[in-house]
């Protein structure tokens, strides 16, 4: 029977140090995501699945926040063992509330903020604290149909194609630079519900892809245009 020392000697002290340093660096390199939601959090779950299945191998969701204490997305986060908390927004002005949210995100050293059905406008203060580090997913091909009920807007306008958009968040509603879009054809028999369901499948796909692009730095900005590439820019 070999002694434990034989194995260590064969591996070598330098190898052990290298292995330990690699494990340490790997942990440090993990990018932290903060997710903001107001409801069920299906896009949060899509991101959590992408992390779990290593489609976002160097990322972790550090915190899920909601402005509503009864948001189902908070329970879904806790079931996954992810830190989740509510910061009720009732009675607070936008910037005063955002200062509480920003403090919570900074406490967790969040690198990227992802809005996932977050039903509040972000203040200029919030944007300034996370420049080009806030993403949103919207259920239309922006700049068409911004704001609420985008699917209903598309149907009422008789659009033939709609879809979803991942964009950086700025001070204006659904107006920040676009990272990625996916088109969805509108069928004659579509209802708001059926169209929303098909758009949502595309949302789940492109949100994770967009997060990967941003966290890995595989993009550059040219005015309002986001130029993406396969390598870090």
Token code pair at residue 210 = 């967009």
Rounded to whole angstroms, how far apart are CA atoms 179 and 128? 19
Token code pair at residue 185 = 């054809």
| Residue in 22, 38, 10 with CA at minimum distance from that of residue 122 | 38
**Residue pair 34/112 in contact by the 8 Å Cβ criterion:** yes
Please confirm, yes or no, whether 204 is among the known catalytic residues: no
Rounded to whole angstroms, how far apart are CA atoms 101 and 93? 13
Number of Cβ atoms within 10 Å of the Cβ of 108: 15
- Among candidate residues 138, 157, 167, 204, the one labeled active-site is 138
**Residue pair 219/179 in contact by the 8 Å Cβ criterion:** yes
Q: Which helix (H) or strand (E) holds 21?
A: helix 13-29
Rounded to whole angstroms, how far apart are CA atoms 171 and 185? 30
Token code pair at residue 56 = 């976002």
Cα Rg of the chain (Å, integer): 21
> Is residue 157 classed as helix, strand or coil in its secondary structure?
coil
Q: Annotated active-site positions, please?
A: 138
């Amino acid at each position: 029977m070999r002694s434990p020392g034989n194995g260590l000697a064969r591996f070598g002290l330098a190898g052990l140090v290298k292995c330990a340093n690699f494990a340490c660096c790997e942990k440090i390199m993990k990018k932290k995501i903060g997710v903001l939601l107001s409801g069920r959090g299906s896009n949060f779950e899509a991101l959590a699945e992408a992390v779990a299945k290593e489609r976002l191998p160097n990322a972790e969701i550090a915190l899920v926040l909601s402005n509503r204490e009864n948001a189902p997305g908070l329970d879904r986060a806790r079931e996954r063992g992810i830190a989740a908390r509510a910061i009720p927004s009732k009675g607070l002005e936008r910037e005063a509330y955002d200062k509480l949210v920003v403090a919570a995100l900074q406490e967790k050293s969040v690198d990227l903020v992802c809005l996932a059905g977050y039903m509040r406008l972000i203040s200029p203060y919030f944007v300034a604290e996370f420049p080009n580090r806030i993403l949103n997913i919207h259920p239309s091909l922006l700049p068409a149909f911004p704001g609420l009920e985008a699917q209903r807007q598309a149907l009422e306008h008789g659009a033939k194609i709609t879809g979803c958009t991942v964009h950086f968040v700025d001070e204006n509603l659904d107006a920040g630079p676009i990272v990625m879009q996916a088109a969805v054809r509108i069928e004659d028999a579509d209802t708001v519900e059926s169209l929303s369901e098909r758009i949502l499948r595309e949302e789940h796909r492109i949100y994770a892809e967009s997060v990967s692009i941003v966290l890995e730095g595989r993009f550059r900005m040219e005015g309002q245009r986001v130029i993406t590439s396969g390598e870090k820019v």
